Protein backbone atom coordinates (compact mmCIF):
# COMPACT_ATOMS: atom_id res chain seq x y z
CA UNK A 1 0.00 0.00 0.00
CA UNK A 2 1.27 3.47 -0.83
CA UNK A 3 1.84 5.87 2.03
CA UNK A 4 -1.05 8.34 2.23
CA UNK A 5 0.86 11.31 3.61
CA UNK A 6 -2.22 13.57 3.51
CA UNK A 7 -4.09 11.15 5.77
CA UNK A 8 -1.27 11.18 8.31
CA UNK A 9 -0.93 14.98 8.25
CA UNK A 10 -4.71 15.33 8.65
CA UNK A 11 -4.74 12.96 11.65
CA UNK A 12 -2.05 15.00 13.39
CA UNK A 13 -3.73 18.31 12.59
CA UNK A 14 -7.10 17.11 13.88
CA UNK A 15 -5.60 15.55 17.01
CA UNK A 16 -3.62 18.69 17.79
CA UNK A 17 -6.86 20.58 18.48
CA UNK A 18 -7.14 18.70 21.79
CA UNK A 19 -5.37 20.53 24.62
CA UNK A 20 -5.00 19.84 28.29
CA UNK A 21 -5.59 22.77 30.64
CA UNK A 22 -1.90 23.74 30.48
CA UNK A 23 -1.91 23.77 26.69
CA UNK A 24 -0.17 20.40 26.36
CA UNK A 25 -1.24 18.38 23.32
CA UNK A 26 -1.39 14.63 24.06
CA UNK A 27 -1.04 13.05 20.64
CA UNK A 28 0.51 9.97 19.03
CA UNK A 29 1.75 8.76 22.43
CA UNK A 30 3.78 11.88 23.18
CA UNK A 31 3.22 15.28 24.78
CA UNK A 32 3.50 18.21 22.43
CA UNK A 33 3.22 21.95 22.86
CA UNK A 34 2.97 24.94 20.58
CA UNK A 35 6.01 27.17 20.72
CA UNK A 36 6.88 30.30 18.78
CA UNK A 37 9.70 29.65 16.32
CA UNK A 38 11.09 33.13 16.99
CA UNK A 39 11.37 32.24 20.68
CA UNK A 40 13.00 28.88 19.95
CA UNK A 41 15.48 30.43 17.50
CA UNK A 42 16.33 33.25 19.89
CA UNK A 43 17.23 30.77 22.62
CA UNK A 44 19.00 28.34 20.30
CA UNK A 45 21.11 30.82 18.30
CA UNK A 46 21.52 33.03 21.38
CA UNK A 47 23.05 30.03 23.19
CA UNK A 48 25.40 29.42 20.26
CA UNK A 49 26.43 33.08 20.08
CA UNK A 50 27.18 33.28 23.79
CA UNK A 51 29.19 30.05 23.93
CA UNK A 52 32.98 30.25 24.28
CA UNK A 53 33.28 27.36 21.87
CA UNK A 54 30.69 27.61 19.09
CA UNK A 55 31.47 24.15 17.69
CA UNK A 56 30.66 22.62 21.10
CA UNK A 57 27.42 24.61 21.24
CA UNK A 58 26.49 23.44 17.74
CA UNK A 59 27.13 19.82 18.74
CA UNK A 60 24.96 20.16 21.85
CA UNK A 61 22.09 21.62 19.81
CA UNK A 62 22.35 18.88 17.16
CA UNK A 63 22.55 16.20 19.87
CA UNK A 64 19.45 17.65 21.55
CA UNK A 65 17.57 17.47 18.22
CA UNK A 66 18.76 13.89 17.69
CA UNK A 67 17.66 12.74 21.14
CA UNK A 68 14.36 14.59 20.74
CA UNK A 69 13.67 12.98 17.34
CA UNK A 70 14.72 9.54 18.58
CA UNK A 71 12.57 9.52 21.73
CA UNK A 72 9.62 11.39 20.21
CA UNK A 73 9.31 9.04 17.26
CA UNK A 74 9.81 6.02 19.51
CA UNK A 75 6.74 7.21 21.45
CA UNK A 76 4.84 7.87 18.22
CA UNK A 77 5.68 4.41 16.85
CA UNK A 78 4.22 2.81 19.97
CA UNK A 79 1.00 4.84 20.07
CA UNK A 80 -2.52 3.66 19.31
CA UNK A 81 -2.85 6.39 16.66
CA UNK A 82 0.15 4.91 14.85
CA UNK A 83 -1.41 1.44 15.07
CA UNK A 84 -4.76 2.72 13.77
CA UNK A 85 -3.79 5.27 11.15
CA UNK A 86 -0.27 4.51 10.02
CA UNK A 87 0.44 0.79 10.49
CA UNK A 88 -1.99 -0.38 7.77
CA UNK A 89 0.05 1.58 5.19
CA UNK A 90 3.44 0.21 6.21
CA UNK A 91 5.04 -2.66 4.34
CA UNK A 92 8.74 -1.98 4.75
CA UNK A 93 11.05 -0.36 7.30
CA UNK A 94 11.66 2.41 4.79
CA UNK A 95 7.92 3.17 4.63
CA UNK A 96 8.19 4.18 8.27
CA UNK A 97 10.62 6.98 7.37
CA UNK A 98 8.06 8.49 4.98
CA UNK A 99 5.43 8.28 7.74
CA UNK A 100 7.77 9.88 10.31
CA UNK A 101 8.50 12.70 7.87
CA UNK A 102 4.77 13.27 7.23
CA UNK A 103 4.25 13.63 10.98
CA UNK A 104 7.22 16.02 11.22
CA UNK A 105 5.69 18.18 8.46
CA UNK A 106 2.41 18.28 10.41
CA UNK A 107 4.39 19.34 13.52
CA UNK A 108 5.54 22.39 11.55
CA UNK A 109 9.18 21.35 11.37
CA UNK A 110 9.45 22.30 7.69
CA UNK A 111 8.49 21.25 4.21
CA UNK A 112 10.45 17.98 4.31
CA UNK A 113 11.05 15.37 1.64
CA UNK A 114 12.78 12.01 1.82
CA UNK A 115 15.27 12.25 -1.03
CA UNK A 116 17.14 8.96 -0.60
CA UNK A 117 17.17 5.95 1.70
CA UNK A 118 19.82 3.25 1.63
CA UNK A 119 18.61 0.76 4.27
CA UNK A 120 20.88 0.77 7.31
CA UNK A 121 23.41 3.02 5.60
CA UNK A 122 22.16 6.41 4.57
CA UNK A 123 19.19 8.76 4.80
CA UNK A 124 18.95 11.99 2.82
CA UNK A 125 16.21 14.46 3.74
CA UNK A 126 15.72 17.78 1.98
CA UNK A 127 13.80 20.68 3.44
CA UNK A 128 12.28 23.92 2.32
CA UNK A 129 11.11 26.54 4.78
CA UNK A 130 13.13 25.27 7.72
CA UNK A 131 12.27 27.63 10.57
CA UNK A 132 15.86 27.60 11.74
CA UNK A 133 17.23 28.68 8.34
CA UNK A 134 14.64 31.41 7.93
CA UNK A 135 14.97 32.51 11.55
CA UNK A 136 18.74 32.73 11.31
CA UNK A 137 18.68 34.86 8.14
CA UNK A 138 15.98 37.14 9.57
CA UNK A 139 18.02 37.74 12.73
CA UNK A 140 21.63 37.65 11.56
CA UNK A 141 21.73 37.71 7.74
CA UNK A 142 23.27 35.05 5.51
CA UNK A 143 25.12 32.27 7.31
CA UNK A 144 28.46 30.75 6.36
CA UNK A 145 27.44 27.22 7.45
CA UNK A 146 24.28 25.11 7.92
CA UNK A 147 22.08 26.36 10.76
CA UNK A 148 19.31 23.77 10.99
CA UNK A 149 20.58 21.93 14.04
CA UNK A 150 17.26 20.40 15.06
CA UNK A 151 16.44 18.85 11.68
CA UNK A 152 20.03 17.67 11.31
CA UNK A 153 19.79 15.82 14.62
CA UNK A 154 16.34 14.46 13.83
CA UNK A 155 17.56 12.96 10.53
CA UNK A 156 20.17 10.93 12.41
CA UNK A 157 17.66 10.10 15.18
CA UNK A 158 15.32 8.47 12.66
CA UNK A 159 18.15 6.20 11.46
CA UNK A 160 19.02 5.36 15.10
CA UNK A 161 15.45 4.34 15.71
CA UNK A 162 14.96 2.23 12.60
CA UNK A 163 18.37 0.66 12.07
CA UNK A 164 20.11 1.00 15.45
CA UNK A 165 20.60 -1.74 18.02
CA UNK A 166 17.38 -1.09 19.96
CA UNK A 167 15.73 1.53 22.16
CA UNK A 168 16.97 3.25 24.32
CA UNK A 169 20.64 2.39 23.73
CA UNK A 170 20.83 3.06 19.99
CA UNK A 171 20.69 6.88 20.05
CA UNK A 172 23.81 8.42 18.42
CA UNK A 173 24.73 5.30 16.42
CA UNK A 174 24.19 7.53 13.38
CA UNK A 175 25.29 11.10 12.76
CA UNK A 176 24.09 13.66 10.23
CA UNK A 177 25.61 16.56 8.34
CA UNK A 178 23.79 19.47 6.76
CA UNK A 179 25.32 19.63 3.30
CA UNK A 180 23.17 22.47 1.96
CA UNK A 181 21.24 25.13 3.86
CA UNK A 182 18.93 27.90 2.77
CA UNK A 183 20.48 30.05 5.52
CA UNK A 184 23.68 30.18 3.43
CA UNK A 185 21.84 30.78 0.16
CA UNK A 186 21.45 27.17 -1.06
CA UNK A 187 18.18 26.28 -2.85
CA UNK A 188 17.14 23.92 -0.04
CA UNK A 189 18.48 22.40 3.16
CA UNK A 190 19.87 18.87 2.88
CA UNK A 191 20.66 16.47 5.71
CA UNK A 192 22.61 13.25 5.24
CA UNK A 193 22.75 10.68 8.04
CA UNK A 194 25.25 7.82 8.07
CA UNK A 195 26.74 5.48 10.70
CA UNK A 196 28.64 7.56 13.24
CA UNK A 197 32.41 7.26 13.23
CA UNK A 198 33.45 6.39 16.79
ZN1 LIG B 1 19.24 24.56 6.79
pLDDT in tens, 53-97: 999 999 999 999 999 999 999 999 999 889 998 999 999 999 999
What is the reported pLDDT for 188?
98
d(CA 181, CA 38): 18
Q: How far is the CA of 180 from the centre of ligand 1 (A)?
A: 7
Question: Which of 55-64, 106-115, 122-131 is predicted least confidently?
Answer: 106-115
pLDDT category of residue 21 using cuts at 50, 70 and 90:
confident
The rounded Å distance from CA 106 to ligand 1 centre is 18
- Determine contact, residues 120/163, Cβ cutoff 8 Å: yes
The rounded Å distance from CA 185 to ligand 1 centre is 9
Q: How far apart are the CA of 125 and the centre of ligand 1, in A?
A: 11
Res. 108: pLDDT tops 90:
no
CA distance 96 to 90: 7
pLDDT at position 28 is 80
Dist. CA 181 → ligand 1 center (Å): 4
What's the whole-number average pLDDT of the chain? 93
> What is the band of 6 on the pLDDT scale with cuts at 50, 70, 90?
confident
CATH number of the domain located at residue range(s) 5-195 in this protein:
3.30.1380.20
pLDDT of residue 1: 62
Residue 30 CA to ligand 1 center (angstroms) comes to: 26
CA 161 to centroid of ligand 1, rounded, Å: 22
From the CA atom positions of the chain, what is the Rg in Å? 16
Percent of the chain at pLDDT exceeding 70: 99
CA dihedral for 191, 129, 66, 86, sign (positive or negative): negative
Calpha distance 20→6 (Å, rounded): 26
- Kindly tell me if the per-residue pLDDT of 98 is higher than 90: yes
Cα dist. 34→15, 59, 79, 114 in Å?
13, 25, 20, 25
Amino acid sequence: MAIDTDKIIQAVMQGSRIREEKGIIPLFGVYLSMISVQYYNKISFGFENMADNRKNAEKLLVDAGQECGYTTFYGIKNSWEWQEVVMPMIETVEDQIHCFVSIAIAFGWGDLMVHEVVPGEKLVIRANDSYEAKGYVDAYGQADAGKCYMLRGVTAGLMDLLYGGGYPESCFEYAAMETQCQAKGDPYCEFIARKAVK
